[in-house]
Structure 1
């Protein structure tokens, strides 16, 4: 008797009634095209350079949130350590930009730290292809290794979340303690040029925004195709009934490891894009707190819909900027209140609320 993913998912659909309906409402071709036109055409024309740069930063975070939505919302893996993969991508790109600026010499922070010779770890990052490849492949390799070790031992739920959170904390501590190699607490900053283009110019920042928007759109389409595929149905089945999937002859550890690695690759690519957009990468941007904030953003947007994860990252990013500009002393409380309000009124996030209104 043959076993298919249809068998594995039978009986689990009732546990997540919003799943497919949400994706169809929020990720349809018409909606995607409308958002793409707004992002690629309207935003560069309507927003001043400073606001456009902020929107680019929100979209970078949305790439990380998309990966979290794939791992957590579709696969049930609550990952609290995406900052590690984001940091690997960011430092890979930052190292390349610092070497470009140094023009064969030592980066400025190494001079200040008393380093006399360029560390061997830095040498390959002078090549932009190597830097970009490492930004994506290093997170994927690390996540694949961790997934193989963790999921084979059937570690899941809160234990998996704690392990990833501990990894983020350890990674941040490691970066802070290696001043001459990583820039320490300050991280890597003072970037002036990207592939021959002046990072301070409005045209370069506009081009970076378009690159980020296109990358996010392509990754969203790829993730949506994955979720709607046979693998995606198996992933949801693993989320809703891992033991049953194992009984039917599938290996949940492999499914979860592949998904976790894809999520890590997205975070690494986002980190590489973040550096030229924002102009800095430091331990403060990739530790436990930033990783938790991204998970909160996905929860606010709606973790069961990929579009909801993207929406949540943009909404929370905008809220953080708006609240901090108007209420310098209490914006964190307002941001927390926004999270509580959304979770109270719509436990499935903004996407769930929109889906419910669409059915009304």
Structure 2
């Protein structure tokens, strides 16, 4: 008699309850901003909505990183380049949507007029169409990740060596985009956006829609990643993480599994960058700095890598602290960030979510012990 292997549920009931409650609370923030006046106790400021929207973009990037680091054992120190490339792809559309409303009242963006450009370079072709730009948001980070990953994984580069070359990659792209002759705005990047799909980008209603789209895609990315890691594919990915040589011995070729999850992670990160740009209002090469990629690793570590939900918690926690710290003690944030990472590494190796699970297990053991004593 054949036995059927049951696929585990995506989340248990408490996890689903927490996710749904958090999603509803987050969705209510822009609604309270639009419906209640500034003097009302239920009013949520536009600054708070924009800040939480930015945090959700960071959370999506942390989720993408956890998919390759937490479940496949591939530590990337270059995910900032995928985030920024997605942002630049969307930014090209937003710059063209400005039209003649720029300072120089030209069909070209102001930075091109200032640098005496006469026409758009070839790689700006069709970027005045929203859906083509959205296609670039997916294709550009995905293609870069596929090509880079293919040669790296085929050459069996892994561990610290892989981390170093990913950091070198993002640093090289940062230097490239800092140049004025690349057609991406140089040091200043893209900014001063006016419209998106014909709607004023600074209007509260537009900001609310962008926020809700970000929330929906973050939820969708979480479900998609969870479906992957709980499937047979997910078990193979964890086999790559735990013992790649043993996986090869039983007949699997890790190359294509690693390449798939690496490319998917880059695409999710690019989408996060594309959502980040219209809400923050700027994209420049500093988003590709190695420090930004290292921060993503810290978000995942603080929340709890290998959990998917943990990196989302970590992104909100660390960036919330950063917002407070940079306002109260602007010169001390980098020291505080380093201290957080050291403390988490030493005392919370499983992150915030791991600590919560540890307390739950301890309470369960205590409850079981007291029940045994009562029974005796």
TM-score (norm 1): 0.90
Contact 2:176-2:182 at 8 Å conserved across structures? no
Matches within 5 A, 1:302-317: 302-317=304-319
Match of 1:272 in 2: 274
Query: Aligned partners of 1:356 and 1:210: how far apart in 2?
Result: 33
Query: Aligned partners of 1:54 and 1:344: how far apart in 2?
Result: 30
The reply to whether residue 66 of structure 1 matches residue 63 of structure 2 is yes
Query: Aligned partners of 1:65 and 1:322: how far apart in 2?
Result: 20
TM-score (norm 2): 0.87
Q: 1:180 to 1:250 in 2, by over 3 A?
A: closer
Contact 1:26-1:307 at 8 Å conserved across structures? no
The more displaced of 108-117 and 338-347 is 338-347
**Offset of 1:150 from its aligned partner?**
1.0
Higher percent of residues as helix: 1
Greater RCO structure (CA 8 Å; 6+ sep): 1
Match of 2:81 in 1: 84
Query: Aligned partners of 2:30 and 2:203: how far apart in 1?
Result: 18
Match of 2:15 in 1: 28
Query: Aligned partners of 1:339 and 1:151: how far apart in 2?
Result: 28
Matches within 5 A, 1:170-249: 170-179=172-181, 181-249=183-251
Matches within 5 A, 1:36-185: 36-41=23-28, 44-45=31-32, 47-103=44-100, 105-179=107-181, 181-185=183-187
Contact 1:302-1:309 at 8 Å conserved across structures? yes
Query: Aligned partners of 2:292 and 2:324: how far apart in 1?
Result: 18
Unaligned segments of structure 2, at least 5 residues: 33-41, 101-105, 363-376
The more displaced of 40-49 and 23-32 is 23-32
Moved over 4 A (4+): 23-27
Q: CA RMSD in A?
A: 2.1
Query: Aligned partners of 1:42 and 1:131: how far apart in 2?
Result: 29
TM-superposition CA deviations, 1:291-319 (whole Å, max 9, x none):
11111111111111100011111111111
Contact 2:83-2:270 at 8 Å conserved across structures? yes
Contact 2:81-2:287 at 8 Å conserved across structures? no
Match of 1:15 in 2: none
Secondary structure of 1:124 counterpart: coil
Q: 1:159 to 1:26 in 2, by over 3 A?
A: farther
**Offset of 1:69 from its aligned partner?**
0.4
TM-superposition CA deviations, 1:49-71 (whole Å, max 9, x none):
10110010010011111110000
- Return the index of the structure with the highest Cα Rg: 2
